[in-house]
C-alpha cells in the first residue's frame, strides 16, 4: 500500500483537538519527569512538560501516515440481455434439409436456440458436440461453429476461453471476403486480448480495425474512455458526432452530483462524522461522532483523575478512530462517485451501444 503524509490542515486541527489532553497529561506527569530536569533551568516544570509533550504529539502526527486514496476506478460492466440480440440477424445460411439429417447439424441447431435465449452453458455444450461430429472437409460450417463457440464464451465474459478457442481452432484461416462476421471476430478478439492483458495483440487488432472501420475505432475508443471514467477524453473524441450530446449530458450530471473527496476529509477532520454526513452516510456519521466523543472524553477524564496509563491507551484508541474516520469519509465519497458514475455511464453506453457486445452486427 502506498502512503502519504497527512495534510497540514489536518495536522493543525488535530493538534488543537488534543491540546487539552496534553495539558491534563502534563499535569499528572510532572512528578515523574521533574526530578530529571536541571534545577538551574529557568523554565517552569509545567511549561517544560507542555512543550515536551507538544513536540512528541507533533512528531507522531507528522510521521503518521494514512492510506493514500485510491484513484477513481468505476466498474462499468455490460450484462447481456436477450432483447439486445433479438433483432440481430444470423451471419450464416440456415441449415438445409439434407444437413439436418446429420448429427452435427442437430447439435448446431440446438446450440443456436440455446444461444438466442442466452443459455450460454448449454449453447457451448451443443456447439462443441457439433464441432466434434462434423466432418473435417466441411470448412464453412466448421468456421461457423467455432465462431459460435467464441461468441458464446465472449458473452459469458470467459475471455481466456475465447482466446484458447481462437488459437487452437481454424478461425485463423478466416478472411473478410469469405467470412461474413469477420468484423465481429475482430471486436471479440480485441476485447478478449485486452481483458487478459495481452495489450500488444489488442493494439495490432485495433490498428487493423482503424484501417478499415474508422467509426468502429471511434466507438471502441469511446468505450475505453467511458468505462475507465475518463470523461474529458470521451468528450473530446465525441466532438462533432451524434454521440456528443449524450456524453456531455453524462459529464454534467456526474459533476453536479459528485462529492468532493477532499471536502469529506476536511469536514470529518473538523468535526468527526461530518464527512460521512456530507456523502449521505448518516448512520456512519452518528456512529463516528459518538465513538470519537466517548473516547475523547474518557481519555480526558483518565488524565484528570490521574490514571495516566489508561489515559494514554484511550488516547491512542481515539487517535486511531479519528484518523480512521477521515480516511473512511474519503473512501465513502470515492465509492459514492463510483456508484453514481457506473449507474449513469451504463445507461448512456447502452443507449449509444458502446459496449463491444452491442457493436456486433450478427447473431448466432
- Tell me the three state secondary structure of residue 4: strand
pLDDT number for residue 234: 94
pLDDT in tens for each of the 364 residues of the chain? 333 333 444 444 444 444 444 454 445 444 443 443 434 334 344 454 454 455 445 444 443 444 444 568 888 999 999 888 877 888 899 999 999 999 999 999 999 999 999 999 999 999 999 999 999 999 999 999 999 999 999 999 999 999 999 999 999 989 888 899 999 999 999 999 999 999 999 999 999 999 888 999 999 999 999 999 999 999 999 999 999 999 999 999 999 999 999 999 999 989 999 999 999 999 999 998 898 888 888 888 888 888 888 888 888 888 888 898 899 999 999 999 999 999 999 999 999 999 999 999 988 8
Residue 339: name the closest of 79, 78, 74, 77 by CA.
74
- Taking domain 82-245+355-359, whether its CATH number is 1.25.40 is answered by yes
Taking residue 133's Cβ as centre, other Cβ atoms within 10 Å add up to 15
Phi, psi (5° rounding) for residue 230?
-90, 80
Query: Would you call 44 exposed, middle or buried from its count of C-beta atoms within 10 A (0-12, 13-18, 19+)?
Result: exposed
332: which residues sit within 8 A by CB, 6+ positions away? Answer: 264, 275, 276, 279, 281, 284
Cα angle 189, 191, 195 (rounded to 5 degrees) comes to 115
pLDDT number for residue 50: 53
- 315/311 Cα distance (integer angstroms): 6
Count Cβ neighbours within 10 Å for each residue of 56-75 and write b for 16 or more, e otherwise.
ebeeebeeeebeebeeeebe
Cα angle 128, 134, 140 (rounded to 5 degrees) comes to 95
Residue 56: name the closest of 22, 10, 16, 5 by CA.
22
Pair 191, 203: CB distance under 8 Å: no
Phi, psi (5° rounding) for residue 262?
-65, -40
pLDDT number for residue 23: 53
pLDDT number for residue 307: 87
- Residue carrying the nine cell digits 440480440: 85
Provide the β-strand partners of residue 90. Answer: 363
What's the predicted TM-score (pTM) here? 0.76
Residue 145: name the closest of 159, 131, 158 by CA.
131
Domains of the chain by residue range: 1-68, 82-245+355-359
- Residue carrying the nine cell digits 439434407: 98
Amino acid at each position: 500500500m502506498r502512503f502519504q503524509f497527512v495534510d497540514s490542515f489536518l495536522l493543525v486541527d488535530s493538534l488543537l483537538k488534543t491540546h487539552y489532553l496534553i495539558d491534563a497529561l502534563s499535569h499528572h506527569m510532572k512528578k515523574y519527569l521533574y526530578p530529571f530536569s536541571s534545577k538551574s533551568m529557568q523554565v517552569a516544570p509545567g511549561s517544560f512538560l507542555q512543550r515536551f509533550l507538544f513536540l512528541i504529539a507533533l512528531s507522531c502526527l507528522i510521521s503518521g501516515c494514512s492510506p493514500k486514496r485510491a484513484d477513481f476506478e468505476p466498474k462499468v460492466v455490460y450484462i447481456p440481455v436477450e432483447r439486445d440480440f433479438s433483432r440481430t440477424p444470423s451471419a450464416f445460411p440456415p441449415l438445409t434439409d439434407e444437413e439436418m439429417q446429420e448429427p452435427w447439424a442437430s447439435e448446431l441447431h440446438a446450440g443456436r436456440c440455446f444461444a438466442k435465449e442466452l443459455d450460454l452453458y448449454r449453447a457451448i455444450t451443443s456447439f462443441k458436440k457439433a464441432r466434434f461430429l462434423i466432418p473435417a472437409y466441411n470448412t464453412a460450417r466448421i468456421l461457423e461453429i467455432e465462431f459460435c463457440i467464441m461468441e458464446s464464451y465472449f458473452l459469458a465474459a470467459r475471455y481466456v476461453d475465447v482466446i484458447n478457442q481462437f488459437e487452437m481452432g481454424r478461425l485463423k484461416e478466416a478472411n473478410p471476403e469469405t467470412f461474413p462476421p469477420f468484423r465481429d471476430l475482430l471486436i471479440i478478439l480485441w476485447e478478449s486480448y485486452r481483458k487478459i492483458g495481452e495489450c500488444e495483440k489488442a493494439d495490432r487488432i485495433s490498428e487493423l480495425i482503424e484501417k478499415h472501420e474508422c467509426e468502429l475505432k471511434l466507438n471502441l475508443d469511446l468505450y475505453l474512455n467511458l468505462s475507465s471514467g475518463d470523461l474529458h477524453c470521451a468528450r473530446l473524441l465525441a466532438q462533432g458526432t451524434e454521440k456528443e450530446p449524450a456524453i456531455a449530458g453524462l459529464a454534467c450530471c456526474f459533476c453536479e452530483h459528485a462529492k468532493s473527496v477532499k471536502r469529506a476529509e476536511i469536514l470529518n477532520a473538523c468535526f468527526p462524522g461530518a464527512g460521512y454526513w456530507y456523502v449521505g452516510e448518516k448512520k456512519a456519521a452518528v456512529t463516528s461522532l459518538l465513538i470519537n466523543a466517548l473516547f475523547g472524553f474518557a481519555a480526558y477524564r483518565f488524565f484528570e483523575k490521574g490514571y495516566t496509563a489508561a489515559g494514554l491507551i484511550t488516547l491512542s484508541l481515539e487517535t486511531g478512530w479519528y484518523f480512521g474516520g477521515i480516511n473512511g469519509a474519503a473512501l465513502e465519497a470515492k465509492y459514492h462517485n463510483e456508484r453514481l458514475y457506473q449507474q449513469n455511464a451504463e445507461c448512456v453506453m447502452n443507449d449509444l451501444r458502446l459496449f463491444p457486445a452491442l457493436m456486433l452486427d450478427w447473431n448466432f
